[in-house]
Amino acid sequence: MLYVVIVFLILAILMYILLGGADFGAGILELTTPDRMKTKLRKRTYETIGPIWEANHMWLIITIVILFVGFPAVYSLLSIHLHIPLLLMLFGIIGRGTAFVFRHYDAVEDEMQKVYNWIFTYSSFVTPFFLGLIFGAAVGGKIDPHAGDFLGTYIWPWLNGFSIAVGLFTVTICGFLAAVFLVGEAGLEAEKRFLVTRSRAFIVATVGAGGLVFLAAELQNVPLIGLLLNESLTLGILFLASVAMALLWIQLPKAKKAFSRFLAGAVVTAILMAFGYHYFPDMVILQIGENLSVFNSAALGKPIETLAWALLIGSIFILPSLGYLIYSFQREKAGH
Amino acid sequence: MEDLLAARWQMAVSLGFHIIFACIGMVMPFFMATSHYQYLKTKKPLYKDLTKAWSKGVAIFFVTGAVSGTVLSFELGLLWPKFMLHAGPIFGMPFSLEGTAFFIEAIALGFFLYGWNRFNPWFHWFTGVVVGLSGLASGILVVAANGWMNSPAGFDYVDGQYLNIDPIAAMFNDAWFTQALHMTLAAFVSTGFAVAGIHAYLMLKGKNVAFHRSAFTIALVFGAVAALLQPISGDISAKDIAVRQPAKLAAMEAHFETAESVPLIIGGIPDVEKKEVNYAIEIPGALSFLAHGDFGAEVIGLDQFPEEDHPPVLITHIAFQIMVGLGMALVGLSLLFLFSKWKKKEWLDAPWFLWLFVLGTPLGFIALEAGWTVTEVGRQPWIIYGILRTKDAVSPIPGIQYSFYLFTAVYLSLAVVVTFLLTRQIGAVPSYPSQDATLSDSSASQTS
Ligand code: HDD
Ligand code: HEM
Ligand code: HEM
């Protein structure tokens, strides 16, 4: 049953990055869009993610619940050492979620819209940045449970080049997902052209930030490249992801929207899977060389078993209704 | 500020904030479904507009509830990592089921808010009901987790180790039912009276009276029925605590010395040093009766517990008095409402009558916060009753006060913005030229 839980954990993280990531990306895109295009983009964003954004964010909660029920040692350790970035991410989550809904449901349109927009766009950047940073810090090997001092215990585990690079990489991935997704929704030719250019810009940024992750890893003695070179499977997946990205670059203006979305999703899935495979079964890498893995930190026995059953039974209800929700609104749009 | 105190305050502020939005998120869907049902049956646009007006408010409340809940699921670890290290796997069952309930709620809300004119009307109506049902389910599940903290079950505690964990037994702990029942009723009481109070105020302003009267009635019927059941459920809770957490009951009643035939103390200010209560009204034997169903029964006092295991008496006692006092006031208002509906229809429009309900707007929520204070402060000094102390569970990180200040500031600003948005929503409610609203179809111009 442990494997059921692990599969759900990976699935929840993947879904959050894909669906939640596209949500964040819409805000990041808005942040980098010239004013004259913003209104249209906002409308587009709302039409596309309005009905499902709430559901998209459930994946984060599922991830957290799986962590604290199934892998309490990981949840507890990260809560202590990454307290500060977790707090910053939470402020991002509060700002983003509320500003997104408030700006749509405010009965009067006035100067307040500017405030909502400001909060929405900046927190769309901050949240995935810290999310990525937390991922990076978990596997960066700088967490030291025996550090006696404040900086060593609560700051250096995450305030380092590697974690920051992973944070930036996450931001670019979100922007990339949103831009490619919205290309398929664009109405006028000008809007489409704009989004295609943006998608390409984010492809460049993603590749750049990815390079930065490797560079930072080298500079900070995070053993990433050396290990990767020995894993042909990981390398192979990353190579395929690059090919898919190149294909996307060329095909984007002409391709069917389902096809380019599939490619973008596949790229991100491949990147996540490559790193997931690379680190498996470790979840947290500590400075002292010990690791918390899905095996040694699991609450084995009944807790994992009941959790697995709860997830299995839950998904019987959730997946079909979520699928129907997305399908209904997609079909609706196609019909008009 | 000391870190432990800051952490307790931060938890209290976050939960106290979340619970308001959670209650509204649980109960409003039922009000909406009622009005929506009326619309589908009578086709009066008034009911459609009411459903829509409410649903816009609910979207605002819902997102605030969702983000504050997300914050809570992180805060449990950020503030109490040593609690979660042990408790997570044991009391996690309700949380993992709650994940499903939330998901369904979020999906159903997507259908409901965006589904006007898109789906079969009854399917659309049904998605609204699902929002309410899954909200209720998630409320009951989290309360079961809280019940476990009050009444730990589903594991053996041996030499500081948590062995033989059984998450299902933990979920069905001894406290879950009484707490879940009382809490569910409380959600209906507090939301019902708050919504009714706002609409009573708008009726007094004389605009759209027909619209606001329908809203007032729907909300108050739910609220009044729940308010009448609340003392019965509260009595079940009290009897339960008398057995399970006698120290909490003693603190609620400021009952210092174990004795037989104990009086019920109403009001008063406990003096913990002198172990007495000043300025209180005493009803002889009543506490013995309420706790054990017998006027002569013995009630355990705080003297049976070592000093270090005493909950804070002053806060618990005062909070309990506030809850019960307001509970009785709400029973009074409910009886008045039901009596007027039955015998004195003319009262329903009388300004004095409406003003009473305007004054009643915050009472349910105050009672609710007070009740949670009783439960949570009355559990102190334990985070897991009898097993783990709150001070041993707190995060080692220094400077928790700063995150407490920040969160308080953020929540205060959110509260201000939500209030502001709500007043704007109310301002945007369409008006009707005549009392009987069937004449105008203002809803056609207004799609979400
Ligand atoms: C509208 C809100 C409201 C009202 C009118 C009342 N309560 Fe209450 N009470 C709550 C809202 C609440 C609550 C906030 O929902 C609590 C906190 C935890 C819980 O399960 O319910 C609670 C807890 C609570 C507890 C502690 C339960 C525990 O710790 O397990 C007792 C003994 C009572 N209540 C008793 C009463 C009595 C005798 C009332 C008589 C009128 C009453 N309550 C009215
Ligand atoms: C008695 C206490 C509580 C009740 C009755 C309650 C109930 C609810 C309800 C009904 C919602 C749905 C949101 C809405 O409709 O506005 C909600 C949201 C949420 N609650 Fe609570 N809650 C309580 C305490 C907690 C605690 C202690 C946690 C965390 C550990 C928590 C975590 C969440 C989360 C993560 C959400 C967001 C779900 C979403 O996105 O829809 N809640 N809560
Ligand atoms: C939403 C309604 C709730 C309110 C208003 C509430 C209120 C409070 C208050 C006032 C405290 C501080 C007590 C003190 O330290 O003196 C507290 C503590 C706490 N509550 Fe609750 N509570 C609620 C529900 C819950 C639920 C559902 C859970 C968990 C499942 C929970 C978990 C905790 C924890 C872990 C603490 C900190 C430890 C402690 O002080 O014992 N609470 N809560």
What confidence tens digit (pLDDT) does each residue in A264-293 have? Answer: 888 899 888 888 888 888 888 887 778 888
Q: If you ran DSSP here, which 8-state letter would residue B119 be given?
A: S
A151 chain-B contacts, CB cut-off 8 A: none
**pLDDT tens per residue across span A7-22:** 999 999 999 999 888 8
Q: Which residue has the tokens 């987790």?
A: B145
Element of type H or E holding B383: strand B382-384
Q: Which residues of chain A from 169 to 208 reach within 8 Å of chain B, CB to CB?
A: none
With DSSP H G I counted as helix, E B as strand and the rest as coil, what are the percentages for chain A, rounded to 5?
80, 5, 20
Which tokens go with B383? 């985070």
Which candidate in B55, B63, B162 is best for mutational testing of the A interface (most A CBs within 10 A)?
Answer: B63
Pocket probe for ligand 1: among B190, B375, B377, the residue whose CB has the most ligand atoms within 8 Å is B375
Q: What is the mean pLDDT of residues A230-259?
A: 84
Q: Select the residue from A90, A315, A322 to test the B interface by mutation, using most B Cβ atoms within 10 A.
A: A90
Peptide bond into B362 cis (omega under 30): no
Output the CA torsion sign for B164, B166, B170, B174: negative
Please give the structure tokens belonging to residue A216: 């930072």
Q: How far is the CA of A296 from the centre of ligand 1 (A)?
A: 42
Q: What is the pLDDT along chain B (448 residues), one digit of tens a residue?
A: 789 999 999 999 999 999 999 999 899 999 999 999 999 998 888 898 899 889 888 888 888 888 999 999 999 999 999 999 999 899 989 998 988 888 888 888 888 888 887 888 899 999 999 999 999 999 999 999 999 999 998 888 888 888 888 889 889 999 999 999 999 999 999 999 999 999 999 989 887 888 899 999 999 999 999 999 999 999 999 999 989 999 999 899 888 888 888 888 888 888 887 788 878 888 888 889 888 888 888 888 888 888 888 899 899 999 999 999 999 999 999 999 999 888 888 888 888 999 999 999 999 999 999 999 999 999 988 999 989 999 999 998 888 999 999 999 999 999 999 898 888 888 777 665 444 443 333 333 333 3
Quote the distance between the C-alpha of residue B86 and its chain's center. 27
**B65 alpha carbon to ligand 2 midpoint, in Å?**
7
- From CA A310, how far away is CA B376, in angstroms rounded? 28
Token couple for A42: 């906002």
| Nearest alpha-carbon partner for B34 in B246, B250, B192 | B192
pLDDT value of position B218: 94
- How open is the CA angle A322-B172-B255, to the nearest 5 degrees? 125
Cβ A108–B427 below 8 Å, yes or no? yes
Question: How many C-beta neighbours within 10 Å does residue B232 have?
Answer: 12
What is the rounded CA–CA span in Å between residue B304 and residue B286?
21
What is the rounded distance in angstroms from the CA atom of residue A195 to the CA atom of residue A190? Answer: 9
Evaluate whether A292 touches A73 at the Cβ level (below 8 Å). Answer: yes
Q: For residue B263, is the peptide bond before it cis, meaning its omega torsion is within 30 degrees of 0? A: no
The nearest CA of chain B is from the CA of A65 a distance in Å of 6
Look at ligand 2, atom 33, and give the residue with the nearest C-alpha.
B69
Q: Bigger pLDDT: B379 or A233?
A: B379
Of all residues in chain A, the one with the smallest CA distance to B91 is A69
User: What does the pLDDT read at residue A336?
Assistant: 47
A118 vs A56, residue with greater confidence = A118
Report how far residue B100's alpha carbon sits from residue B106's, in angstroms, rounded to the nearest whole number. 10
Provide the strand spans (E) within B201-347.
259-260, 264-266, 269-271, 276-278, 281-283, 298-299
Q: Which residues of B touch A328 (CB under 8 A)?
A: 111, 118-119
Q: pLDDT by residue (tens digit) across A160-184? A: 889 999 999 999 999 999 888 888 7
**Token pair belonging to A95:** 């700002």
By CA distance, what is A297's nearest residue in B? B85
Cβ–Cβ < 8 Å for B285, B262: yes
Residues B212 and B196: their CA atoms lie apart, in Å, by 9
Question: Please, which residues have CB within 8 angstroms of residue A306's CB and are 6 or more apart in sequence?
Answer: B93, B96, B167, B168
* Domain coordinates in residue numbering, chain A: 2-323
The predicted structure's pLDDT at residue B431: 64
Q: What is the pTM of this model?
A: 0.90
Contacts 24+ apart (CB under 8 A), B291-296: B291/B238, B291/B239, B291/B242, B291/B249, B292/B239, B292/B242, B293/B239, B295/B261, B296/B260, B296/B261
ipTM, two decimals: 0.89
Distant-in-sequence, close-in-space partners of A118: CB < 8 Å, separation ≥ 6: none
The dihedral over CA atoms of A133, A127, A22, B21, expressed in degrees to the nearest 10, equals: 140
Chain A: give the shortest CA distance to residue B341, in Å.
34
| C-alpha distance from B345 to closest chain A C-alpha (Å) | 35
Q: For residues B146 and B79, what is the distance between their CA atoms, to the nearest angstrom?
A: 16
Q: Which of B107, B97, B23 minimizes the C-alpha distance to B65?
A: B23
Which pLDDT tens digit goes with each residue over A292-311?
A: 888 888 888 888 888 999 99
Q: Which of B13, B103, B388, B448 to mutate to test the interface with A (most CBs of A within 10 A)?
A: B103
pLDDT of A74-114, one tens digit each?
999 999 999 999 999 999 999 988 888 888 877 777 778 88
Q: SS3 for B417?
A: helix
pLDDT at residue number B430: 65
Question: Is residue B322 a contact partner of residue B370, using CB atoms and an 8 Å limit?
Answer: yes
The residues, any chain, with a CB within 8 Å of residue A197's CB and separated by 6 or more, are none
Return phi, psi of residue A292, to 5°.
-95, 120
Whether the CB-CB separation of A141 and A110 falls below 8 Å is answered with no
